[in-house]
A and B are shown apart, each in its own frame.
Chain A
Amino acid sequence: QVQLVQSGAEVKKPGASVKVSCKASGYTFTGYYMHWVRQAPGQGLEWMGWINPNSGGTNYAQKFQGRVTMTRDTSISTAYMELSRLRSDDTAVYYCARARNRDGYNYGYWGQGTLVTVSS
């Protein structure tokens, strides 16, 4: 069965960077784009972007361009999302998500979420 297992909670200071990992299992990692979605406390879902694990190609939401980097390590079926120059409003739960089809946006599979807290 498809599983996405994310790294643990992080506490960072403003201006720092955070790197969240998402280890995939139960399917061919390179066959499906990996998306990242975040949710600030008490707020809605926000799409951040995707990475094509096969080619390494990425597509970032305009809001995060210049601050987010999505990478992958195909040898261990793991995707990464790094967000730099953190601000307090980056405090959120960050999810990796995989669609039902290769390049779709219908996320049938989600990681458990990683809480990133930005605080001085």
Chain B
Amino acid sequence: QSVLTQPPSVSGAPGQRVTISCTGSSSNIGAGYDVHWYQQLPGTAPKLLIYGNSNRPSGVPDRFSGSKSGTSASLAITGLQAEDEADYYCQSYDSSLRGGVFGGGTKLTVL
């Protein structure tokens, strides 16, 4: 079991909007630690998509956005495209474990 909880899968049609949730606890997200999101295409290293809850690195389309509230965070993808089909992971820091923690990952299928 991962410290951060994500849905195993989400899906949406091209052009639609999907959201991926990431639920933590009072020792990680709820304690105010930043949440980061990664996109991983098959056979490749993860790519940073969102850092510091809602910031996009240069080159990441503004179709991707992040938010955080309480002990949870969300990644939203608008204008879904076939190339968005990938695995998505949330990540934070946990003060009880004194280290990084990841969600279990969410597989996005573009219908």
**B36: nearest residue on chain A (CB-CB)?**
A106
Q: Is the CB of B92 within 8 A of A105?
A: yes
Interface string of A91-120 (1 = CB under 8 A from B): 000010000100011111011110000000
Q: Is the CB of A45 within 8 A of B46?
A: yes
Interface status of B7 (Cβ within 8 A of chain A) = no
Interface string of B92-107 (1 = CB under 8 A from A): 1100011111111100
**A93: nearest residue on chain B (CB-CB)?**
B45
Q: Which residue from A37, A60, A108 sits with its C-beta under 8 Å from B57?
A: A108
Residues of chain A lying within 8 A (CB to CB) of residue B105: 44-45
Interface status of A62 (Cβ within 8 A of chain B) = yes
Residues of chain A lying within 8 A (CB to CB) of residue B34: 104-106
Q: Which residue from B2, B51, B89, B98 sits with its C-beta under 8 Å from A59?
A: B98
**A60: nearest residue on chain B (CB-CB)?**
B99
Most-contacted residue by chain A among B93, B99, B100, B105 (CB, 10 A): B100
Interface status of A73 (Cβ within 8 A of chain B) = no
Task: Please report the total number of A residues contacting B with Cβ < 8 Å.
Answer: 22
**A96: nearest residue on chain B (CB-CB)?**
B45
Interface status of A89 (Cβ within 8 A of chain B) = no
Interface string of B62-93 (1 = CB under 8 A from A): 00000000000000000000000000010111
Q: Which residue from A44, A59, A100, A106 sits with its C-beta under 8 Å from B99?
A: A59
Q: Is the CB of A47 within 8 A of B99?
A: yes
Interface status of A49 (Cβ within 8 A of chain B) = yes
Residues of B within 8 A of A (CB): 2, 34, 36, 38, 40, 45-48, 51-52, 57, 89, 91-93, 97-105
Residues of A within 8 A of B (CB): 35, 37, 44-47, 49, 59-62, 95, 100, 104-108, 110-113
